[in-house]
Amino acid sequence: MSTQHEIVFRTDLRDAIAALSKDLRGEDGPRISTIRNYNFALLPYPPEDEFKLRARVHQLSTELVNEGWIVKSLALQKLLFDRLRALGDDYLESIIATERRLYKKAAAFAKTATPPAPDAALTHLQGKLLQHIEGPHGLAADVEREIDRIWRENPNKADRTVIFIGRAGALYPFFRTSGLLKHLDGKTHNLPVVLLYPGERRDSTALSFMGVLEPDRDYRPRIYP
């Protein structure tokens, strides 16, 4: 929740996409960042506008592809699921079974709660999932691998390539975007990368993931619009 001293900036998706589109199509190539060799940008949007955001990004992507661009989308949710599936069905079934058992146990001791608070179940999931999400060997490694593949497939079109990273909201409350960007720094071949950020912009540079977590000010990229 925001404090009385914070200003919440509601992102206008039309303005944000228009500004991003203009900077991508710059005369001297994509200019989505003012920091040399750090071609990242963040596009925050209200979580409830998820489908509206996808539609606008799809429209921009179609326009760019028609102009000869390489446009790729990386879904963080899919990357995590691919990681977990690679560990085998037994691993997933064990996580699910334990989470259900802990949730039912919590519910039995909190019948007056609406809904019952599944603290133990959530803690269990955090312990199992964070190792696959956070750190340099978590999702950042998977994103880095995918970006490297995209670059190798089209090494001569770096100035006509953009990569959108989305579906971050599906990883709430386990995910912190600032950590992802930190671990990707210097590992993207300087391709333009835009992280679609479900949350609120607080003050001028702070972002609150999903509009719930405490604002994070540990961001270097430009925040659109």
Question: How does pLDDT run across 129-178, given as a tens digit for each residue?
Answer: 777 788 889 999 999 999 999 999 999 998 999 999 999 988 887 777 77
Mean residue pLDDT across the chain: 83
According to DSSP, the β-strands at 206-209 and 193-202 are antiparallel
| CB < 8 Å & 24+ apart, contacts of 28-33 | 29/159, 30/159, 30/162, 30/192, 32/192, 32/194, 32/222, 33/221, 33/222
Identify the residue with better confidence: 126 or 69. Answer: 69
Domain 8-79+134-223 belongs to what architecture?
A: 3-Layer(aba) Sandwich (3.40)
pTM for this predicted structure: 0.82
Q: How confident is the model at residue 2 (pLDDT cuts 50, 70, 90)?
A: very low
Cα distance between residue 21 and residue 162, in whole Å:
11
118 and 102 Cβ atoms separated by less than 8 Å: yes
Per-residue pLDDT tens for 77-134?
999 889 888 888 777 777 777 767 766 766 666 555 555 455 665 666 666 677 778 8
Q: What is the pLDDT of residue 156?
A: 92
Which residues, including other chains, have CB under 8 Å from residue 219's CB and lie 6 or more apart? 42, 178, 181, 205, 207
